[in-house]
Amino acid sequence: MRRLRILVLMHPDCVPPDSTDGYSAKEIHGWKTEFDVVSTLRAAGHDVRPLGVQEEIKPLRDEIESFKPHVVYTLLEEFHYASAYDQHIASYLELMKVPYTGCNPRGLILARGKDLSKTLVHHRRIAVPAFAVFPKNRKVKRPPRLALPLIVKSLSEDGSFGISQASIVDTDEQLAERVAFVHEKLETAAIAEQYIEGRELYVGVLGNTRLQVLPVWELKFGSLGGEGARQIATQKAKHDVDYQERVGIVDGPAEDLAPEVYARIQRTAKRIYKILGLDGYARIDFRLAADGTPYFIEANPNPEIAKSQEFATAAKHVGIDYPDLLHRIVTLGISRAKAGASVG
Note whether 208 and 164 are same-domain residues. Answer: no
The mean pLDDT value of the chain amounts to: 93
* Residue 322 scores a pLDDT above 60: yes
Q: Are 14 and 34 in contact (CB under 8 A)?
A: yes
- Residue 51's φ and ψ, nearest 5 degrees, are -145, 120
Output the CA–CA distances (angstroms, integers) from residue 114 to 100, 144, 252, 298, 303, in the order listed.
25, 21, 25, 6, 16
pLDDT score of 225: 66
Note whether 54 and 160 are same-domain residues. Answer: no
Note whether 218 and 139 are same-domain residues. Answer: no
Q: 64 lies in a domain? A: yes
What is the helix (H) or strand (E) element at residue 178, kind and residue range?
Answer: helix 172-181
CA pair distance 169, 174, nearest whole angstrom: 5
Please give the full DSSP string across 275-337, using - where no structure is assigned.
HTT--SEEEEEEEEETTSPEEEEEEEES----TTSHHHHHHHHTT--HHHHHHHHHHHHHHHH
Percent of the chain with pLDDT strictly greater than 70: 97
* Residue 195 scores a pLDDT above 80: yes
Closest among 301, 289, 292, 300 to 130, alpha carbons compared: 289
Q: Are 164 and 106 in contact (CB under 8 A)?
A: no
CA pair distance 194, 129, nearest whole angstrom: 5
Q: 114 lies in a domain? A: no
pLDDT-based confidence at residue 237 (cuts at 50, 70, 90):
confident
Which of 194, 226, 245 is the last residue in one of the domains? 194
Read off the pLDDT of residues 125-137 as tens digits, 9 standing for 90 and up.
999 999 999 999 8
Q: What is the mean pLDDT of residues 192-199?
A: 96
Which of 164, 194, 224 is the last residue in one of the domains? 194
Note whether 203 and 334 are same-domain residues. Answer: yes
* Residue 244 scores a pLDDT above 90: no
Note whether 220 and 323 are same-domain residues. Answer: yes
Q: Are 102 and 329 in contact (CB under 8 A)?
A: yes
pLDDT score of 226: 67
Note whether 327 and 234 are same-domain residues. Answer: yes
Read off the pLDDT of residues 167-183 as tens digits, 9 standing for 90 and up.
999 999 999 999 999 99
Provide the edge-to-edge strand list for the sheet that holds 212-220.
250-253, 212-220, 198-206, 281-289, 294-301
Task: List the domain range (segments joined by +) for residue 59.
Answer: 5-100
How many structural domains is the chain composed of?
A: 3
pTM of the model: 0.93
Orientation angle between helical segments 105-112 and 86-95, nearest 10 degrees:
170
Read off the pLDDT of residues 87-99 as tens digits, 9 standing for 90 and up.
899 999 999 999 9
CA pair distance 304, 273, nearest whole angstrom: 17
Note whether 205 and 174 are same-domain residues. Answer: no
Q: Are 196 and 128 in contact (CB under 8 A)?
A: no
Read off the pLDDT of residues 97-127 as tens digits, 9 standing for 90 and up.
999 999 999 999 999 889 999 999 999 999 9
Output the CA–CA distances (angstroms, integers) from residue 60 to 8, 64, 81, 330, in the order listed.
10, 6, 16, 18
pLDDT score of 291: 94
Note whether 317 and 210 are same-domain residues. Answer: yes
Task: Give the lowest-confidence range in 4-18, 71-85, 275-289.
Answer: 71-85
Task: Give the lowest-confidence range in 38-47, 223-232, 330-339.
Answer: 223-232
* Residue 54 scores a pLDDT above 90: no
DSSP-based three-state secondary structure for 340: coil
Q: 285 lies in a domain? A: yes
CA pair distance 312, 325, nearest whole angstrom: 7
- Residue 64's φ and ψ, nearest 5 degrees, are -60, -40
pLDDT-based confidence at residue 344 (cuts at 50, 70, 90):
very low
pLDDT score of 143: 95
pLDDT-based confidence at residue 245 (cuts at 50, 70, 90):
confident
Q: Are 268 and 205 in contact (CB under 8 A)?
A: no
pLDDT-based confidence at residue 224 (cuts at 50, 70, 90):
confident
Closest among 181, 163, 131 to 234, alpha carbons compared: 163
Which of 167, 194, 221 is the last residue in one of the domains? 194
* Residue 270 scores a pLDDT above 60: yes
Note whether 73 and 30 are same-domain residues. Answer: yes
What is the helix (H) or strand (E) element at residue 216, kind and residue range?
Answer: strand 212-220
Q: 162 lies in a domain? A: yes
